[in-house]
Structure 1
């Protein structure tokens, strides 16, 4: 009997893993308080800065963080997409109004990333609109807000956002300071 050699071919697969933008889910009040600026503005145009980074010209309609500081109401500013990673860049639709929260770089340029609070004004809940307009987020920045990723979380100072109902808390609740304590108000969630 003749033996026939068997030739096995193994294929090698190569996977490229890109550095994705990793963002912790944070309550809008927490993002507001940790941001260098929070504005409402209309997106006027977009320009490429380099192969993956963009900047957007924005007509500022309101400065919620500091009403009398730069960027002032009525001015036009450039907001750059985050420089840390292409995956962290944010995209805005030309002509739409947004609430944009972000940071300033070392040179003072305004930056926004996909981890910031960048939401179309039309997508804000009524509660969020009121919290921005009447400065409720700003007045309560001393309160600590932390997420609760488990079914049971330890009590702590500040407000806990339960994982199972976080969307309701993000859209309809404020961690409000009263004396030395903070608690959710209104507590409809």
Structure 2
């Protein structure tokens, strides 16, 4: 009787991609960490290369105080990765957005880790917080997310994961009577 050996070969293909890695943050946290926060109308776009794109925007409002640029009604270019690249942001031509990002070597940059939202998609609370300086004036207050909805006491405002979107859309962390606490909301 012949003995037949059977060899089983398993081939595994692993694809490694460079994805955009960032933690989602409250709009106030994004505002405070950003070099610029503007309301801008998207005028046009231009491909820089296979991985980068620039958007021509008209600045309607500069929400960040203390920065000399961008000025109201100025036209600037904002650089981002292309949609197919990691962290790429896509804006609709003709639409108006609240855009946050960094400035490096005079270049305005943004990506999916910052807060970029159509103005029409902002909640009334978010519009109010931007227009009336609620986010800007409370950058000294820190917002802390609570993993597994277990919040340990500490400095700042605590946001349980289960309700974090409610806090993102309806609340800001404000200093009142020497401590930071959430604005009144229904979260």
TM value normalised by structure 1 = 0.91
Count of matched residue pairs:
186
Report if the CA contact (8 A) 1:79-1:109 is conserved: yes
Superposition map of 1:1-189 within 5 A: 1=1, 3=2, 5=4, 8=7, 10-66=9-65, 69-81=68-80, 86-105=85-104, 107-189=105-187
RMSD between aligned residues: 2.0
For residues 58-112 of structure 1, what are the alpha-carbon distances to aligned partners after superposition, in whole Å with 9 as ceiling and x for unaligned? 11111101287211111110000159x931121111111110000011x121000
CA distance in 2, matches of 1:69, 1:141: 19
Unaligned 5+ segments in structure 2 are none
Q: Structure 2 CA distance, aligned partners of 1:141 and 1:5?
A: 73
- For 2:24 and 2:147, locate their aligned partners in 1 and report how far apart those are by CA, in whole Å: 10
Q: 1:95-146 CA deviation, whole Å, 9 max, x = no partner? A: 11110000011x1210001000000111100000000011111011110111
Task: With the length of structure 2 as denominator, give the TM-score of the two structures.
Answer: 0.92
Runs of at least 5 residues in structure 1 that lack an aligned partner in the other structure = none
1:162 & 1:90 partners in 2: Cα distance? Answer: 28
Q: Give distance in 1, aligned partners of 2:67 and 2:10.
A: 64
Q: Secondary structure at the match of 2:149?
A: coil
- Whether the aligned pair in 2 keeps the contact of 1:82 and 1:111 (CA below 8 Å) is no
With 167-176 and 73-82 compared, the bigger mean Cα shift is at 73-82
